[in-house]
């Protein structure tokens, strides 16, 4: 495939393919995210944000916050090409990830896949998985099967806030299906309408870039990206605003399907 076509592909379409490849072999999204994070410097939250914003695959690598200098030690053959022989820099970055994902799907543990200073990565004392950032947000064990299970796994002081957010979204979207997608609570109706997730200092709300733009004036007091909203724990949860955003997502979906 032409390189420019690869760069123009949406990361939101590439990521599920990578996820399916490793999950088919019994590996987890958390392990996949740890590889991506090691390679690029993206945190799990930022990877989810890139998926929700449909950023191009090329821009995902171009805008990597902290490319790991040890990535140049990745060697081997992937897609019939030796990684270290790829001349085009951006394509080489993509092949680095392809090689890491291939090795993960082959059953190699993360700490043995990564070259160089992989031994310096933080290892979770509960599940034993390794991450680039100390105390990085992740799930210990298998991903939760339901939203209730997801909430129950969070710190006790956060659970009540998550229940308020979940109850607000559920009432706003009575016809939507509740499920876990990308390890996050998700409300779905022919497509993902809105998602949320707990982090150390905030709840991440993911209604998509169009919703964030539509409510930009009312979101000025919150940190946002093109597809995500951070709702800090030290502020009251804006439940009415969450309700309106959720209903806006469903109405927009309905209009597009008419």
3-class secondary structure per residue, 143-194: CCCCHHHHHHCCCHHHHHHHHHHHHHHHHHCCCCEEEEECCEEEEECCCEEE
Q: Give tens-digit pLDDT for 118-128.
A: 555 666 766 65
What pLDDT sits at residue 69? Answer: 85
Q: Give tens-digit pLDDT for 207-256.
A: 987 899 999 999 999 998 767 899 999 999 999 999 999 999 999 988 87
169 close to 75: Cβ distance less than 8 angstroms: no
Q: Give tens-digit pLDDT for 38-91.
A: 899 888 778 877 887 668 899 899 888 888 888 888 999 988 889 988 888 899
Structure tokens at 37: 């994070």
Pairing of strands 229-232, 177-181: unpaired
Return d(Cα 212, Cα 220) in angstroms, integer.
11
Q: Give tens-digit pLDDT for 115-172.
A: 865 555 666 766 655 665 666 665 566 668 899 999 999 999 999 999 999 999 999 9
**DSSP assignments along 102-159, one per residue:** HHHHTT--HHHHS-GGGGGSEE-TTT--EESSTT----SSSPPSSHHHHHHTS-HHHH
**pTM passes above 0.75:** no
């Amino acid at each position: 495939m032409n390189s420019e076509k690869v760069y123009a592909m949406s990361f939101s379409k590439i990521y599920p393919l990578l996820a399916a490849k490793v999950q088919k072999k019994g590996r987890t999204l958390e392990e996949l995210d740890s590889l991506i994070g090691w390679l690029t410097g993206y945190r799990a939250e930022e990877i989810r944000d890139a998926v929700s914003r449909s950023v191009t695959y090329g821009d995902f690598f171009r805008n990597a916050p902290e490319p790991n200098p040890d990535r140049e030690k990745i060697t081997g053959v992937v897609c019939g090409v030796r990684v270290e022989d790829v001349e085009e820099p951006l394509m080489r970055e993509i092949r680095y990830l392809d090689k890491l994902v291939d090795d993960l799907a082959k059953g190699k543990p993360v700490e043995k896949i990564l070259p160089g200073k992989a031994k310096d990565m933080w290892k979770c004392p509960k599940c034993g998985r390794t991450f680039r950032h100390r105390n990085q947000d992740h799930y210990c064990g298998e991903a939760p099967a339901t939203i209730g299970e997801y909430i129950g796994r969070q710190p006790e002081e956060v659970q009540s806030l998550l229940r308020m957010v979940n109850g607000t979204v559920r009432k706003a979207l009575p016809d939507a299906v509740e499920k876990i997608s990308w390890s996050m609570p998700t409300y779905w109706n022919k497509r993902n309408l809105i998602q949320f997730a707990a982090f150390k200092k905030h709840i991440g709300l993911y209604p998509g870039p169009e919703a964030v733009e539509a409510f930009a004036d009312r979101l000025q007091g919150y940190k946002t990206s093109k597809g995500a909203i951070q709702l800090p724990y030290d502020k009251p949860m804006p439940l009415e605003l969450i309700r309106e955003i959720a209903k806006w997502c469903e109405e927009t979906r309905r209009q597009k399907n008419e």
